[in-house]
Structure 1
Amino acid sequence: MEGNYNLIHDYVIFTGVFAVFLFLTLSIYLFSRNQRLKIKNAKLSESNRLIQNRLNEVQLEHIGTKLNPHLFKNILNSVQSHAYQTYMSLDKLANVLDYILYESNNKFVSPKEELSFALSLIEINKIKVNPLFDFRIKSKIDKSDSVFEEKVFAPLISVDLIENAFKHTDFLAQDSFISIQMELDAGIFSMKVSNKASLKNVLHKDNSGFGSQSLDQRLKLIYSDFYTLRKNSKNGVFTAELTINLGEFYDKMRYS
């Protein structure tokens, strides 16, 4: 009887030990498999991120190839239509073309470079305007700003708002005007463009062109949550306001 008891006791102990061993083995296997799955998922996530980044870059490159000829054509039309000011125009044109040819292919330029380009572009477009036309430009740029010379500005971002103002303004109306305000302060760039819209252009919004759509796409792809773009039309005056938090975007670039 005692022998049977010992046999049962040993069997129970063996079964318990075996169960513990089986549990530990299964736990180690599941843990190992879970770690391998985590590593695999991490690699897949990284691959997806790289693929998405490349798709964004390709899309931006595709947008850029459409944008430059469009801008170049508008500039040449401005110079051609006012040949009597050709010398001044060509001087500004040279600055603009240098920027387009040598800087616009870069992913980012500095606010210093982009704003210099924007001012040259404005001067070229002003050739179209009668000297008595109500043209207002205000530039408030803090050159000591930490991002002023950092590569954080997507090239040609300022083109669309400036070009549209000149393209869609009713220059014959007595109360017509164009107002352009640019500011860089505490890492935040803001640009506000207003103009008296031509009635013809208001009635034919389908001819607004490629620029406006490409601007929205580029801003969303590049700056994501670091920008706002607001557009409104009231009493024949069209206003567009762009704000980009270059400071926070720069921090993200440095630490990502």
Structure 2
Amino acid sequence: METFLVIIVITLLVVIGWLIYSMRAISIRRNELETERQLFDSKIRYLQLENLESRLDPHLFKNILNSIQSHAYQTYYALDKMAGVLDYILYDSQRKMVSLKEEHEFALRLIDINKIKLNPLFRLDIRSSIGETEPYYTEDLIAPLVCVELIENAFKHADLASSDAFISILFKLKNNQFDLLVSNKKSRMKTLTKDKGGYGLTALNKRLELIYGHTYKLEKSEDDHIYSMHLKINLHDFKTKMRTT
């Protein structure tokens, strides 16, 4: 009888110990879930941003490969430029921010690849009013690939055949503001309307809004002949905004 009572007592102690352990584990897990929930809210903006960025890359690859395919005799030149572009996409673009110097150099390589499909007499005006000693030129304040959509759109929709056709691209850094102004002569050929068209600029605008807030502007100017996009980012105000968030 005493042995049976001892067994009962031991069993009860084991059960009580297990219950205490389980309750403690549940309490710890509940605290972990609460912490994860709090972190989730702060990560929503970054998840939205990463989703947008992941949808930009395939579009960029498609346009680059189309350019290379159209002029096979310049493949070696294109692949040399492509190597630098791919390095930037695969490595630098995974960072949240890059320097204006890195984004500017990437954009120039991208333009060189797109030049393959142009007639040698086509008027392509590329200007860079950026001094290497300018403030913020080497600071990580630029979201990677922000120049892509505007440049790709110009080459995609420009009139490449008429005698007065042109594409003009201006990079500028002055008074702590980065400007990218892209203009092109509109094609006289009607483009086919696609159900999924127009995503690029919409995604770019949403991405810029998530990152830069009130410190950026994306303006469109258009008439019957010329289409222009102007991106402005106040790097000083954005840096100040980063410090306060």
Structure 2 SS opposite 1:199 = coil
Shift, 1:130, TM fit? 0.3
Partner of 1:56: 45
Alignment partners' CA distance in 2, 1:79 and 1:53: 42
Query: Does residue 242 in structure 1 map to residue 231 in structure 2?
Result: yes
Alignment partners' CA distance in 2, 1:70 and 1:110: 23
Alignment partners' CA distance in 1, 2:176 and 2:194: 34
Which stretches of structure 1, 4 residues or more, deviate above 2 A after TM superposition? 47-53, 199-210
Alignment partners' CA distance in 1, 2:168 and 2:195: 24
Alignment partners' CA distance in 1, 2:75 and 2:225: 33
Structure 1 SS opposite 2:146 = coil
For 1:113-192, what aligned pairs fall within 5 Å after superposition?
A: 113-192=102-181
The letter for the 1-side match of 2:156 is K
Shift, 1:71, TM fit? 0.3
Shift, 1:207, TM fit? 6.4
The structure that is helix-richer by fraction is 1
Identity between Structure 1 and Structure 2 (%): 50
Query: Which has more radius of gyration?
Result: 1
Q: Deviations over 1:173-199 (max 9, x none)?
A: 222110001101232100110001123
Report the aligned-residue RMSD.
2.0
Q: Deviations over 1:119-147 (max 9, x none)?
A: 00001001110000111111111211221
Partner of 2:221: 232
Alignment partners' CA distance in 1, 2:178 and 2:244: 21
C-alpha distance 172-203 of structure 1, shift in aligned 2 (>3 A): same
Q: Deviations over 1:16-61 (max 9, x none)?
A: xxxxxxxxxxxxxxxxxxxxxxxxxxxxxxx999655411100111
Query: Does residue 67 in structure 1 map to residue 83 in structure 2?
Result: no
Alignment partners' CA distance in 2, 1:55 and 1:176: 44
CA contact (8 A) 1:168 1:201 kept: no
Q: Deviations over 1:206-248 (max 9, x none)?
A: 6644211111111111100001111021132101111000122
Alignment partners' CA distance in 2, 1:207 and 1:107: 27
Alignment partners' CA distance in 2, 1:242 and 1:121: 18
Structure 1 SS opposite 2:143 = coil
Alignment partners' CA distance in 2, 1:48 and 1:151: 30
Alignment partners' CA distance in 2, 1:197 and 1:50: 47
For 1:76-115, what aligned pairs fall within 5 Å after superposition?
A: 76-115=65-104
In structure 1, runs of 5+ residues without a counterpart are 1-46
CA contact (8 A) 1:197 1:238 kept: yes
C-alpha distance 111-48 of structure 1, shift in aligned 2 (>3 A): farther
Partner of 1:11: none
Partner of 2:24: none
Shift, 1:74, TM fit? 0.8
In structure 2, runs of 5+ residues without a counterpart are 1-35
C-alpha distance 125-225 of structure 1, shift in aligned 2 (>3 A): same
Aligned pair count?
210
TM-score (norm 2): 0.80
Structure 2 SS opposite 1:107 = coil
C-alpha distance 165-207 of structure 1, shift in aligned 2 (>3 A): farther
The letter for the 2-side match of 1:232 is S
Structure 2 SS opposite 1:152 = strand
